[in-house]
Amino acid sequence: MALIEGSALVTKSIANEGITTLFGLAGGPIVEVMGYGPQYGVRPIGVRHEQAATFAATAYGYVRNEVGVAVLAAGPGVTNGVTGAHVAFDNCMPLVIIGGSGPQTGRYSGTFQETDNVPMFREITKMAVQVDSASRIPEYMAMAFRKAKTGRPGPAYLDLPSDVLQEMVEEDSVHWPTDYYTDAPPQGNPEQVARAADMLLNAERPAMIVGKGVRWSEPTQQLTGLVETLGMPYLPSPMGRGFIPDDHPMNFNAARSTLMQGADVILVVGARLNWMFDFGRRFAPDAKIIHIDIEPEEIGLNRKVDVGIVGDAGQALGQILAEMEGKTDGVKDRAEEGPWLTALREKAASNAESIQPFMEADTTPIKTYRLLTEVRNVFPRDTIYSVDGQITLATGRQILPSNTPASRLNSGTNGCMGVGVPFAIGAKLARPDAPVVSVNGDCAFGFNSMEMETAVRHSLPVVFIVNNNSGIVGGNLESMMGLPEDYGERVARYVQDIRYDKMMEAFGGHTEHVTEPEDIRPALERAYAASQDGIPSCVNVITDPMEQMITRSNRASALMGY
C-alpha cells in the first residue's frame, strides 16, 4: 500500500481543480506544498513577501476566470497575507489561501510560530477553518474551492497545522470528492426579467453600468447586444472595462456624471452601489433602477430598486435580450436621433478637449497625463494594465484603454495601494501572450517593488512603470492637517528623484530612466521590445512633485480615480 503525505494531498487537490500555478514564499510548514507542485503539474511561483503571493494569486484567478491559490508560511507569513484576503473579499474575487500553522498537538505550549489564524480570517473570507486530519484534506479543499467560486466569489482560508501536513496516510483510503459544483449558473426570475425588458424598451434616457462582477460569466455578447439593440449608452466601472471594448461608441466613461445624473432608467449589472458610484445618490431621484447581482442582499442596498434580478449576469442579460426579441424595431434609430445621446456625446467631446492640453504637455518635470498618453500610444490594444497609486489611477481612468475582458486591474474596491506590481505578475502568468504593463505611483510601487525580482527570476516580461513624483499626493502639503511644512515634507515626501530603475538593474532586467517628455516614448518602446524578448523592465519616469489632480472634488471616488 502506498502512503501519501498531507502536503501532497493539498497540491494534488489543487491540480485536480485544474489549477496550474500557485503563489507563495517557500517557508515552513507549507514549503512541501510548493515542492510537490511539479510532480502534479502545478507551477510554484516563489515571491518575496506573502502579501504579494495573495495579490498575485487573486489577479491570476481574475484574469483566467478561475480560483487563485496562495500558500502562506506559518505565523508572520500568514499575517502578511491577511491584506490579500481583505482585497479578494472586498473585490468579490475567488481565492483559496492555504496557511501553515504550528502542530495541533502542541497548542498553547509556545510552539514555533503558533498563532490562532482562523479568527483573523473569519471576517474577511467566506470560510475560514482548520483542517483536522490529512485524510480529510481533499474534502476541505473541495469545500474551499466551492465556497470561493460559488455565488458571489470570494476568498476561503484553510489552516493547515504542520503535523497534518506531515502526516502520512494510505493513499487508497483517501476520499476524493468529484463534481462538487453545479454547472448551471442561476437564471433571473422571469417576471422581473420581463419588467426589466419593458422598462428598458420604454426608457427615454436608458443607461447601463457594468461592473467587474460580469467577469465570471464574461457576457461580452449579451452586453454588446443590449447596448447595440437599444442604442443604450453605458459606463464601465474601473475594472468593469473591456468586457465591451472601451472603444465602443456607446462607452461614455468620458461623460460619467452626465450619464449618472441624466439617465431615467439605469441597468446596473455586476456592480455595487457603494462609494464608487456614490451610493446611487448621483442618479436622478426619480430614475428607475434595474439591478442584476448574484448576491440577493446586494440588491436594494443604499438606493431604492425598481427591478431586482438575482442571478448570473450572463444568464439574466441573455434573458432580457430574449424577452425583447421582436419588440425593438426603431428603438435604436430613435435613440440615435434623440437628445440623450447627443448630450452625452457633446459632454464627452468637451471633456476630451479639456484634457487634451495636459496630454500634450511638453513641460519638464513631466506630468502624469503626458506620461500615460505616451503609454497608451505605445502599447497594443490587448494590453493588460495594472494601475496603482492615486494620481496614476485618477489619470489612468481617463487615458488608459481596456479592450479585452479582464484586462484592467487596479487598486479596486478598498483602494489598496501596493497591488500594481504583484497583480501584473499574476496577470502575466494568467495570460502570457498579452502585453502586461504595471503603471504605479512611486508610493504604491514601494509596497511590493521587490517583486520585480520575482518577475526576473520567473521570466515574466512585465513592463513596470514608475510615475515617480517623489512622494504622496503630488506633494499636496496643505492637506497634511495643518502640520508645519517641513514636518509634512518628511512625512509625505520621499528622497528626491529616486532611481528605481537601479533596483531593476540589480535584478538583471531591462532599465530606463526618463526625465524629459520627448524621451518617454522611445524608452517605452525599448521596454516593450525587451518584454517581447522575454525580459521584464523598469521605466523610472521623474514627474512633477507639485502636480495637483485635475479632479478637485474631495469625494473618495474622485480621489481614487473612479
| Grid cell for residue 350 | 468637451
Q: Which of 271, 387, 514, 527: binder of ligand ADP (CB under 6 A)?
A: 271
| Grid cell for residue 278 | 456614490
92 near ligand ADP (CB under 6 A): yes
5 near ligand ADP (CB under 6 A): no
Tell me how far, at minimum, the Cβ of 311 lies from ligand ADP, in Å: 7
Please report, for residues 39, 381, 526, the alpha-carbon distance to residue 535 in angstroms, rounded to integers and kept in the order given: 28, 20, 11
What is the distance between the alpha carbons of residues 327 and 200, in angstroms, rounded to a whole number? 11
DSSP one-letter code for 212: G
Helix (H, G, I), strand (E, B) or coil at 313: helix
What residues numbered 381-420 form the site for ligand ADP, per CB under 6 A? 413
Q: Which of 245, 270, 420, 561: binder of ligand ADP (CB under 6 A)?
A: 270
The residue among 268 and 460 lying less far from ligand ADP, judged by its C-beta, is: 268
Tell me how far, at minimum, the Cβ of 354 lies from ligand ADP, in Å: 26
Tell me how far, at minimum, the Cβ of 160 lies from ligand ADP, in Å: 28
Cα angle at 421 between 418 and 422, to 5 degrees? 90
Tell me how far, at minimum, the Cβ of 372 lies from ligand ADP, in Å: 21
Shortest CA distance to 267 belongs to which of 216, 321, 343? 321
Residue spans of alpha helices (H) in 435-555:
442-448, 451-457, 485-492, 500-507, 520-532
Q: What b/e sequence results for 372-401 when a residue is b if at least 16 CB atoms lie within 10 Å of its CB, and e otherwise?
A: bbbbeebbeeebbbbbbbbbbbbbbbbbbb
What is the distance between the alpha carbons of residues 356 and 333, in angstroms, rounded to a whole number? 31
What is the distance between the alpha carbons of residues 100 and 29, in angstroms, rounded to a whole number? 6
Tell me how far, at minimum, the Cβ of 297 lies from ligand ADP, in Å: 9
234-236 sheet: strands from edge to edge: 234-236, 206-210, 265-269, 288-293, 307-310
The residue among 385 and 464 lying less far from ligand ADP, judged by its C-beta, is: 385
The residue among 321 and 524 lying less far from ligand ADP, judged by its C-beta, is: 321
Tell me how far, at minimum, the Cβ of 416 lies from ligand ADP, in Å: 13
Under 8 Å between Cβ of 239 and 214: no
**Mask for 194-223, x = binds ligand ADP (CB under 6 A):** -----------------xxx--xx------
Q: Which of 240, 389, 474, 517: binder of ligand ADP (CB under 6 A)?
A: 240
Please report, for residues 158, 216, 320, the alpha-carbon distance to residue 65 in angstroms, rounded to integers and kept in the order given: 21, 6, 24
Q: Which of 30, 70, 232, 294: binder of ligand ADP (CB under 6 A)?
A: 294
Shortest CA distance to 159 belongs to which of 181, 123, 127, 135? 127
The 3-class SS string of 89-158 reads HHCCCCEEEEEEECCHHHCCCCCCCCCCHHHHHHCCCCEEEECCCHHHHHHHHHHHHHHHHCCCCCEEEE
543 near ligand ADP (CB under 6 A): no
CB-nearest residue to ligand ADP: 213
The residue among 236 and 536 lying less far from ligand ADP, judged by its C-beta, is: 236
Tell me how far, at minimum, the Cβ of 254 lies from ligand ADP, in Å: 18
The residue among 75 and 153 lying less far from ligand ADP, judged by its C-beta, is: 153
Tell me how far, at minimum, the Cβ of 199 lies from ligand ADP, in Å: 19
The residue among 276 and 416 lying less far from ligand ADP, judged by its C-beta, is: 276
What is the distance between the alpha carbons of residues 237 and 153, in angstroms, rounded to a whole number? 18
What residues numbered 303-322 form the site for ligand ADP, per CB under 6 A? 312-313
293 near ligand ADP (CB under 6 A): yes
268 near ligand ADP (CB under 6 A): no
The residue among 152 and 457 lying less far from ligand ADP, judged by its C-beta, is: 152
91 near ligand ADP (CB under 6 A): yes
What residues numbered 102-161 form the site for ligand ADP, per CB under 6 A? 152-153
Tell me how far, at minimum, the Cβ of 150 lies from ligand ADP, in Å: 10
Residue span binding ligand ADP (CB under 6 A) among the ranges 107-115, 171-179, 267-275, 382-390: 267-275
280 near ligand ADP (CB under 6 A): no
Please report, for residues 262, 324, 475, the alpha-carbon distance to residue 417 in angstroms, rounded to integers and kept in the order given: 33, 43, 17
Tell me how far, at minimum, the Cβ of 125 lies from ligand ADP, in Å: 15
What is the distance between the alpha carbons of residues 96 and 335, in angstroms, rounded to a whole number? 46
Q: Which of 117, 237, 390, 407: binder of ligand ADP (CB under 6 A)?
A: 237
| Burial of 322: CB neighbours in 10 Å, binned 0-12, 13-18, 19+ | exposed
Tell me how far, at minimum, the Cβ of 153 lies from ligand ADP, in Å: 6
What is the distance between the alpha carbons of residues 8 and 163, in angstroms, rounded to a whole number? 13
239 near ligand ADP (CB under 6 A): yes
Tell me how far, at minimum, the Cβ of 237 lies from ligand ADP, in Å: 3
Tell me how far, at minimum, the Cβ of 81 lies from ligand ADP, in Å: 21
Q: Which of 295, 306, 382, 497: binder of ligand ADP (CB under 6 A)?
A: 295
Cα angle at 63 between 57 and 68, to 5 degrees? 25
127-130 sheet: strands from edge to edge: 43-46, 21-24, 68-72, 95-101, 155-161, 127-130
The residue among 83 and 454 lying less far from ligand ADP, judged by its C-beta, is: 83
Q: Provide the binding-site residues for ligand ADP, judged by CB under 6 A.
A: 91-92, 152-153, 211-213, 216-217, 237, 239-240, 270-272, 274, 276, 292-295, 298, 312-313, 413
